[in-house]
Amino acid sequence: MANTGVERRLTAIMAADVVGYSRLVEADETSTLTSLKDLRQDVVEPLLAQHRGRLVKLMGDGLIAEFGSVVSAVACAAAIQTRLGKTQQRVAPERRIVLRIGINLGDVVVEGDDLLGDGVNVAARLEQACPPGGVLIAGAAYDQLPGKLDIGFTDAGELRLKNIARPMRTYRMEVEGASATGTAAGPLTERPAVAVLPFDNMGGDPGQDYFSDGITEDIITELSRFRELMVIARNSSFSFRGRSTDVREIGRTLGAGYLVEGSVRRAGPRVRITAQLVDARSGAHLWAERYDRALEDVFAIQEEIAQSIVATVAQRVIQDSEVAARRRPPGDVRVYDLFLQGNRLIDAFTPEEQARAQVLLKQAIQLDPGFARAYTTLAWFHLNRSVDTAVGVPRDRDEDRAVALRLAEQALTLDPNDSRVHSTLGYMYLMWRDFDRAEPHMDLALGMNPNDALIQMIWAWVQSCVGQPERALPAAGVALRLHPGHPNWYKYFLAHIQFQRGRYEEAADLLARITQDTPARHPRYMAWRAAACGHLGRIEEARRCAETFVEGVRSCWAGDPAAGPKEYVDWFVDVTYLRRGEDIERLREGLRLAGLPA
């Protein structure tokens, strides 16, 4: 083989950087630079020497180092995070230096003292995807570790790293004493931990274990898509197969607050699957369900049932965690608890609850400036306020709408592997009628977590807006199935889709049901209903809806004071976010039939 003259080697690469570096420098440049210098001299460089690592290069707020073995790289990363967590306890939370570290085992190109190539790029992307205060390692590196270090790991699932085409299997290190703010009490962004125990094969035939194991593995994999949860790795939870152990003891052993367990029984052409969610601390059963299916396509059934179990379990765990967060003593402040409470209040559209949500989310960001999900939820707060207070205000003069977009974009820079980050940003782009950017982010979000009912429904609405309602309808159906207790706006989006399909009766009936109690509070809904009834020839009903729309918009209009019904209609058509001219014209025709100046 010809010698290319390029020197290559297989090596373990560690990439690290400072979370919120720009914010720290802006607040106090001199103190920050001094602290970073002390960090390198007192912590990083001694530990690199101890673990036989080589500092490849410094990059302002970060570094690249290489090691002759993965074991040395991982041991060094754990030592750095643990020591940093302890030394930063004496520093005010807003001034603490917090690192995130990525580790990869890969082939690199050697240029003098520098290292280049895909192996280095993957380590850097892992570092960017890592939670503050944590260590994220590639699957190839993890495979070198079993039995060699007394360090725990959690399966972080397959991540799509920025500019890396292939999905990357990843694992999070359980770092003792390190956290997003460097406290020893555990991470402030600590999420609820869930373990899925192997489902019992009740049929008695060991040859059918593959089916019960397949259900279990699918649930573990799909639950891992929810960034709100920490899911215990398969190898850990499967160690309890066949053992009669109290669920509370299992929870303590695995470090899980919640357990999913169940059974599979196949009898002739049918299969029965039971599943239940258990609070591992009390042993209480939080949810149970039984699924009976015809066994025509075993793998389709496996996928459908796993998805239903996963969606329900995720919702119940998150809801239970939010209730627990509200019960915590006032002094026990955690970022994740603040986020959960703010996130719940965002869906309650009263001014008082929205204001409380804003306070909670800002507190979360102050405690952990790297927590992307807090930024996305705060983006929704500003969008909600825009919807309530900026009716008729031109888009380019709507400050809340602009802030919402900026927050969503900021969240993407913090965590490009969070499906809710992409769905929020996609929605915000839609609100600016930036369809070319909205669609790719929604596609990414759906690919990352098809079990998330919210993402399914928003993806469906975007498809409807861009003129593909036939693609939208199945996704909307999935969303409704995954979230039986869905809020009314799910039906509004479904009505939008049905109108786009030309199914005006279904659209009108849906809108009638969700507006029957408070029609004046929903002028947009009433306009769609008026247009649907106009196309159906239900003119009297259409005109009543149109009148309610005009009165509703007039009562909250914040645009040109001289505006009237024509301007109200133009505003409404603009905020329907329809991309195609023919769809806009069809909507206007329905409004004209309802007697509006469209």
Contacts of residue 567, Cβ cutoff 8 Å, sequence gap at least 6: 392, 559, 560
Are residue 530 and residue 394 in the same domain, yes or no? no
Asked, for residue 495, whether it belongs to a domain, the answer is no
- Sign, CA dihedral 36-38-41-47, equals negative
Judged against a pLDDT cut of 50, whether residue 179 lies above it is answered with: no
- Helix ranges, 516-559 (H): 523-536, 539-556
* pLDDT value of residue 326: 67
Asked, for residue 462, whether it belongs to a domain, the answer is no
Are residue 152 and residue 42 in the same domain, yes or no? yes
Among 258-267, 426-435, 523-532, the minimum mean pLDDT is found in 258-267
Specify the CATH number for the domain of residue 237.
3.40.50.10610
* pLDDT value of residue 238: 82
Judged against a pLDDT cut of 90, whether residue 427 lies above it is answered with: yes
- State the amino acid at position 246 in one-letter form: D
Range of the domain at 99: 7-173
Asked, for residue 102, whether it belongs to a domain, the answer is yes
Under the banding of pLDDT at 50, 70 and 90, the label for residue 184 is very low
Under the banding of pLDDT at 50, 70 and 90, the label for residue 458 is very high
Parallel, antiparallel, or unpaired for β 153-159 and 168-173? antiparallel
Report the alpha-carbon distance of residue 594 to residue 180 in Å, rounded. Answer: 56
pTM over 0.75: no
Judged against a pLDDT cut of 50, whether residue 181 lies above it is answered with: no
Report the alpha-carbon distance of residue 208 to residue 202 in Å, rounded. Answer: 9
User: What is the SS3 assignment for 153?
Assistant: strand
Under the banding of pLDDT at 50, 70 and 90, the label for residue 185 is very low
Asked, for residue 494, whether it belongs to a domain, the answer is no
Task: Dump pLDDT digits (tens) for 231-289.
Answer: 887 777 888 887 777 888 888 888 888 999 999 888 778 888 999 999 988 888 899 99
Under the banding of pLDDT at 50, 70 and 90, the label for residue 186 is very low
Are residue 81 and residue 159 in the same domain, yes or no? yes
For tokens 């003119």, the residue is: 539
User: What is the SS3 assignment for 167?
Assistant: coil
Asked, for residue 168, whether it belongs to a domain, the answer is yes
Asked, for residue 444, whether it belongs to a domain, the answer is no
Report the alpha-carbon distance of residue 593 to residue 529 in Å, rounded. Answer: 12
- Whole-number average pLDDT of the chain: 86
Are residue 14 and residue 143 in the same domain, yes or no? yes
Span 297-319, mean pLDDT? 83
Task: Dump pLDDT digits (tens) for 461-480.
Answer: 999 999 999 999 999 999 99
* pLDDT value of residue 247: 86
Asked, for residue 463, whether it belongs to a domain, the answer is no
Are residue 333 and residue 307 in the same domain, yes or no? no
Closest C-alpha among 98, 22, 115, 111 to residue 60: 22
Under the banding of pLDDT at 50, 70 and 90, the label for residue 163 is low
Span 179-195, mean pLDDT? 53
Domain boundary among 434, 450, 470: 434
Query: Encoding tokens for residue 457?
Result: 């429904």
Asked, for residue 107, whether it belongs to a domain, the answer is yes
Span 118-141, mean pLDDT? 86
Residue count of the chain: 598
Domain boundary among 403, 434, 465: 434
Are residue 34 and residue 118 in the same domain, yes or no? yes
User: What is the SS3 assignment for 371?
Assistant: coil
Closest C-alpha among 429, 423, 417, 461 to residue 442: 423
* pLDDT value of residue 562: 96
Specify the CATH number for the domain of residue 420.
1.25.40.10
Higher pLDDT: 484 or 565? It is 565
Q: How many domains does one find in the chain?
A: 4
Task: Dump pLDDT digits (tens) for 380-408.
Answer: 999 999 998 999 999 999 999 999 999 99
Task: Dump pLDDT digits (tens) for 6-49.
Answer: 788 889 999 998 877 777 777 788 888 888 888 888 899 999 99
Span 487-502, mean pLDDT? 95
Report the alpha-carbon distance of residue 317 to residue 258 in Å, rounded. Answer: 8
How many C-alpha atoms does 25 have within 13 Å on its Cβ side?
A: 9
CA 138 to chain centre: 21
Are residue 593 and residue 526 in the same domain, yes or no? yes
Q: Percentage of the chain surpassing pLDDT 90?
A: 43
Specify the CATH number for the domain of residue 123.
3.30.70.1230
Are residue 366 and residue 428 in the same domain, yes or no? yes
Are residue 26 and residue 142 in the same domain, yes or no? yes
Judged against a pLDDT cut of 90, whether residue 151 lies above it is answered with: no
User: What is the SS3 assignment for 319?
Assistant: helix
Task: Dump pLDDT digits (tens) for 569-578.
Answer: 999 999 999 9
* pLDDT value of residue 328: 63
Are residue 29 and residue 147 in the same domain, yes or no? yes
Are residue 358 and residue 269 in the same domain, yes or no? no
- What does the H/E/C string look like for 45-80? HHHHHHCCEEEEEECCCEEEEEECCHHHHHHHHHHH
Highest mean pLDDT among 217-226, 284-293, 576-585: 576-585
Domain boundary among 145, 173, 201: 173
Query: Encoding tokens for residue 116?
Result: 């280049």
Are residue 69 and residue 137 in the same domain, yes or no? yes
Report the alpha-carbon distance of residue 366 to residue 283 in Å, rounded. Answer: 36
* pLDDT value of residue 500: 97
* pLDDT value of residue 171: 86
